[in-house]
Chains A and B, each alone.
Chain A
Amino acid sequence: MGEETFKLMQGNEACVEGAITAGLNFFAGYPITPSTEIAELSAAKLPRVGGKFIQMEGEIASISAIIGASLTGKKAMTATSGPGFSLKQEGIGYAVMAEVPCVIVNVQRGGPSTGLPTSPAQGDIMQTRWGTHGEHSIIVLYPSTVREIFDTTIKAFNLAEKYRTPVILLMDEVIGHMREKVEMPNREKIAIYNRKKPSSSLEKYLPYKVSEGDMVPKMANFGEGYRYHTTGLVHDETGFPTNNGKIAEELINRLVHKIENNLDDIVDYEEYKLQDAEEVIISYGSTARSAKSAIDVLRKEGRKIGLFKPITIWPTAKNQIEDLSKRTSRISVIEMNMGQYFLEIERIAGKYSKVDKYGRSNGELITPKEIVSFIKEG
């Protein structure tokens, strides 16, 4: 058990393995390509480890069920794609507002609407950020290798528990279905974070009160004696609704700042050949793999180019990206859409560096060759 082992694994399978390692014990879902294997594997594996799987009547029901399960103390997850992810938005907002930890996997496919069900796409970048209505912050992670899917899924659970927030694990059809040989980490070395529980007496528990210097309230499980109320309405420390503008402002500020003020902890990224780089590619998910190959080719030809691959997509790695923009002359954002993350990068880096974009939305992968010619043309 303690040894590193090698396994041939599919991306979606690595997600389930990572989730169970992180403590997943409740899954509710509804089948949709290309995420279905996550539901199927959860159905097979969870009861074997005492966990629970339920196929709900749709995606809204699924997100609702995982929020309910999380209130009883479970580590809960759902997985979906395009149309299903659209349906989950109201529930995601509820989890943000009521501060219920949960993980929502979105294995992207081509859209809008039913779109290109079996083709890869990265068109949900902005939807993950602003899909649910109202002012909020959100954590979105996006791995690009099978091993990284395993690690990032664990991180998604850890962040959900630590910050009491829904975390979106973004993938795409390519990495979801790809098989790779994976070195499985030694389980004993994996850090698992569990939500902080109240230590106050039953009568004194205020479910949404934060202690001095902390931004995340302690969370009791339903059934343990701390009887409390949760609502999607603006609420005070007691959990009961209020229309008081000052309390509303404090609440929304706290919900946003508990994430935005902890970038060092939340932001994760990979740097590839960046030390001496004069040019940078920013790319994520499966497209980052093509970008790496392109960089290898361009490096052989003598170009000083490197990759910045955000793994945390939201909140953005703004400090790192700003630094890069100050020491390089050109940043190319390459993504399987028509420039969604480009908007964010340009906002951060545009002041200091030239920011270009390359991408499209026709369900075809962006190849290393294309990237090489795009960089050379620029």
Chain B
Amino acid sequence: MVSQLIGKYYRTGSLPHIWCPGCGNGIILRAIVKAIDNLGLNQDDVCVVSGIGCSSRASGYLDFNTVHTTHGRALAFATGIKFANPDLHVIVITGDGDSAAIGGNHLIHTARRNIDITTIVFNNNIYGMTGGQYSPTTPTGEKGTTAPYGNIDANFDLCELAKAAGATYVSRSTIYGANMIINQVEEGIKNKGFSFIETISICPTYYGRKNKKGNAVDMINQLKEMSINKTAYDKLSKEKRNGKIVVGELHKSQRTEYTEEYEKIIQSF
């Protein structure tokens, strides 16, 4: 079944990919493709837009209309694409640095507009491509090559950010639960509005090594240990909440969608 997916949706000519052995990116990418397959979308109608980073290399491996843009700007390119041609299903693949640091403002405003774009953040808590510098999601106290004495920044809760900015579908998953990712991407694509999916990934090469997290299998097991659903999380005492990853659907709401609203203006003349 896997090879069937690869044959249909991957550009086999552009493989092998550049990712390190044990990298979490491949798991998320396969889940995205599986979700698209489950929904039965026509490949010609799908546009995958990514920024710059290890994760953002994903667009080149997929057989859709694909754009590998500039660092942090995937959502702005995607906004142009979706607004120009609302018939396309626009999916953005981005990293935690790409979406939350250099591209943080675009994330806020794309959510605010509630334009029908589905964004999947491959959150590995580090800048992978540039060799392990700390990112806006590196937990406080952890190390990166630019935080040799431990990161003193507070880290972002990206889902809270997306929700507050106006996203109408927000969820989180980890690469331990591929089925959960598939389900969330499906829900995200089905939602007529801005959908934000944060998938916690692993970078054994930099984040893992710098912070002595063990090998890829160890890191995936840690994700499993840390994951908890919202209801269970809410019942935990404050101390026990520390270090937990709340997974599942975190927010859903209904609001007018940007391209539809603009179409009404065009139709009014």
Contact = CB atoms under 8 A, between A and B. Distances in A.
Given A227-B43, A229-B59, A64 B84 contact: no
Contacts of B69: 64, 67, 94, 232
Interface in A1-43: 26, 28
Contacts of A238: 13-14
Interface in B88-111: 88, 105-106, 108-109
Task: Among B63, B70, B78, find the residue whose CB has the most chain A CB atoms closer than 10 A.
Answer: B70
Secondary structure of the A side of the interface?
A: mixed
Interface in A206-248: 222-225, 227-233, 238, 240-241
B70 A68 contact: no
Contacts of B266: 47, 50, 52
A60 interface: yes
Contacts of B183: none
A230 B67 contact: yes
Interface string B245-269: 0000000000000000010011001
Contacts of A115: none
A52 B83 contact: yes
B44 interface: yes
Nearest to A56: B76
A54 interface: yes
B192 interface: no
Nearest to A241: B60
B215 interface: no
- The bracket for how many chain A residues form the interface is 35 or more
Contacts of A56: 76, 79, 109
A28 B80 contact: yes
A76 interface: yes
A95 to B, nearest CB: 10
A57 B105 contact: yes
Nearest to B109: A57
B45 A223 contact: yes
A376 interface: no
A65 B109 contact: no
Contacts of A76: 80, 84
Contacts of B221: none
B105 A230 contact: no
A222 B82 CA distance: 11
Task: Among B49, B63, B65, B69, find the residue whose CB has the most chain A CB atoms closer than 10 A.
Answer: B65
B44 A225 contact: yes
B83 A69 contact: yes
A362 B84 CA distance: 41
Interface string B27-71: 000000000000000011101010000000001100111111110
A66 B80 contact: yes
28 contacts: A26-B83, A26-B84, A47-B262, A48-B269, A52-B83, A54-B79, A54-B80, A57-B105, A57-B109, A62-B76, A64-B80, A68-B49, A71-B65, A72-B85, A73-B85, A74-B84, A94-B69, A222-B65, A222-B88, A223-B85, A224-B44, A227-B65, A229-B60, A229-B67, A231-B68, A232-B69, A238-B14, A240-B13
Interface of B: 11, 13-14, 43-45, 47, 49, 59-60, 63-70, 73, 76-81, 83-85, 87-88, 105-106, 108-109, 262, 265-266, 269
The 8 A-B pairs at the shortest CB distance, nearest first, are namely: A68-B80, A65-B80, A64-B76, A69-B84, A231-B68, A61-B76, A68-B81, A68-B77
